[in-house]
Amino acid sequence: MSKSKFTCPTCGRTTELGGLFSSAPEQFVCPICKTVVDVAKETAKREVSKSGIVSIIKYEGDNNTFIWKHPIEDFNWGSQLIVHETQEAYFICDGRIADTFSAGRYTLETKNLPLLRGLMALPTNADALFHAEIYFINKTVQMAVKWGTPDKVRFIDPLTGTPLAIGASGEMNLAVLDSQTLLMKLVGTMSGISWSEDGDGFTKSLQKAFRPMIANAVKTNLPAVIKQNDIDLLEIDEKLDLISENLKQKILPGFEEYGLTIPQLYVTSIALPEDDPNFRRIRELHTVTLQQRMLQAQANVKIAEAQNETLYRTEQERSKAAIEAAHRDAELQRQLTETEIAKREAERKIIEAQAEAQAQRLQGLTEAEIMQAKGYNQKDVLQAEVQKAYAEGIGNMTVNGSGGSVAGDMLGMGIGLAAANQIAPQLGNMFGGMQPNAPAASSQPAPNTWKCSCGNTATGLFCNNCGSKKPAPAETWDCACGNKGVVGNFCNLCGAKKPETPTTWNCTCGNKGIVGNFCNNCGKRKEESL
């Protein structure tokens, strides 16, 4: 019976199975390191290495694997190495990293393995074999990797000072940050590494390796995060994002030390001690506090409603006052408008009266000028009228013996005219005072003299008898009826009231002495021009 030699993958001891076993077993245990070796698998590997038929080197396992070691270690030159886009391949010779390959397809030749060629004497024969360990690194992000604390975390409630036991669990996304660091620090001579312990042939799991670090980081930092952020345990679900980010910052350095990184970490559940009497008491206190908050909120709502009602009533009263003020302003404006209209009407009447008086005055002056041009005056007209009337009166008297004949009429008119001629001088003396050009009577005071209240006729500004000051001349005005030089506030002829002197103003257009509220030149209002 032939003997088979197998090398222990752990300690490197070579064992001849034919010498130890009467028949080929399915597996054997290394007598040195106690490693269990699969006999069929090791035999197949030896046969493949001897035949040199390994032509394709690649890994297409599941995504849960971080590092996978190729089971064959002896390769023939010309084999094809395929590295996928999310992978890296490392050649290790004598425990040292020899060559690294990124994504692509490679033909294993001496020119492609410069480091390996420097570490060992490679054969020049293309059919010869070379020995190397090949590791594939998975660079994809491992999603939804579960984690959790194996034990409860002691937490002191800040409200009651009661100790409580809480737990935390969740998921995280894990990825390779530095392939060489991960390969050298965690893998060693193992056949690979994954997160869990389910990998076929793997002797290492990241979950088992990092569980103590995760548990220690959570126990140390979870209570501190809750206290620092004043998080209520009964409302802790609202703060899971905050807790997750804080725990990630505490756990991340431990993973980066071994070439791994955590893109995201999620705390999905906080286990509360529902059966703990202390926790039930805290829940009751929380319920009472919540009720107090609700009552306070209701009170605040009522206060707000009362304030709104008061504000509404205040605004309503303000609105009423504003409306009343607007009505008053409108009424005042209406009255002001009526006053302005009445004022304008009065001004119009005054202007009409002034115009009529001026017209009458001008008419009288015109008649006087005509009479003067003809050589007579009003006295002559009046004297002629008196003479005519007197003559007619005399002529109408009955003459003895004349009766009503024509001769009698002629005789009567002649007698009347003769009588009128005789009476004319007396009439002239009677109307002499009516002549405007008649000389002043000698009884009137001389010019620059004035009559004092003491009876003395004085000259100058003061009376030489009693010393009284000369009175100022009385202010006179002309009435619309034709009476001139009126003294006082009412006309002594017609009783009309002295007109008020209208206020005049000057317009910006250049028109001056305007009476009324509108310019009679450009129509601009008085207030706009002032």
45-88 tens-digit pLDDT: 666 555 554 568 888 877 778 888 888 877 777 778 899 998 99
- What is the average pLDDT value for the chain, to the nearest integer? 76
Arithmetic mean of pLDDT, 130-153? 86
| pLDDT of res. 192 | 61
**Calpha distance 256→181 (Å, rounded):** 9
Instruction: Read off the pTM.
Output: 0.46
Q: What are phi and psi of 170, to 5 degrees?
A: 175, -155
Q: Please compute the mean of the pLDDT values over residues 510-524 and round it to a whole number.
A: 84
At residue 529, does pLDDT exceed 80? no
pLDDT of residue 199: 46
Asked whether the beta carbons of 478 and 357 are under 8 A apart, the reply is yes
Tens-digit pLDDT profile for residues 445-503: 455 788 888 888 888 888 888 888 888 777 888 888 888 888 888 888 888 888 877 77
Q: Do residues 321 and 314 make contact, with C-beta atoms less than 8 angstroms apart?
A: no
Residues 149/219, Cβ–Cβ less than 8 Å: yes
Residue 382 CA, chain-centre distance (Å), reads 95
Sequential DSSP letters for 417-464: HHHHHHHHHHHHHHTGGG-TTSPPPTTSPPTTEEE-TTS-EEESSB-T
pLDDT, tens only, 459-472: 888 888 888 888 87
pLDDT of residue 241: 93
What is the band of 122 on the pLDDT scale with cuts at 50, 70, 90? low
Q: How high is the pLDDT of residue 1?
A: 42
* Residue scoring higher pLDDT (190 or 517): 517
Of the listed ranges 212-221, 242-251, 430-439, 494-503, the least confidently predicted one is 430-439
Q: Are 346 and 470 in contact (CB under 8 A)?
A: no
Looking at residue 300, its pLDDT comes to: 87
CB 27 within 8 Å of CB 38: yes
Q: Are 209 and 197 in contact (CB under 8 A)?
A: no
Banded model confidence at residue 243, pLDDT cuts 50, 70, 90? very high
Nearest to 54 by CA among 33, 80, 32, 20: 80
What are the start-end ranges of the E strands in 243-282?
A: 260-271
* Model confidence at 198: pLDDT above 80: no
The pLDDT value given to residue 196: 60
Average pLDDT on 84-96 reads: 85
pLDDT tens-place string over residues 266-314: 999 888 888 888 888 887 877 777 777 788 888 888 898 888 888 888 8
Burial class (CB in 10 A: 0-12, 13-18, 19+), 518: middle
What's the pLDDT score for residue 262? 93
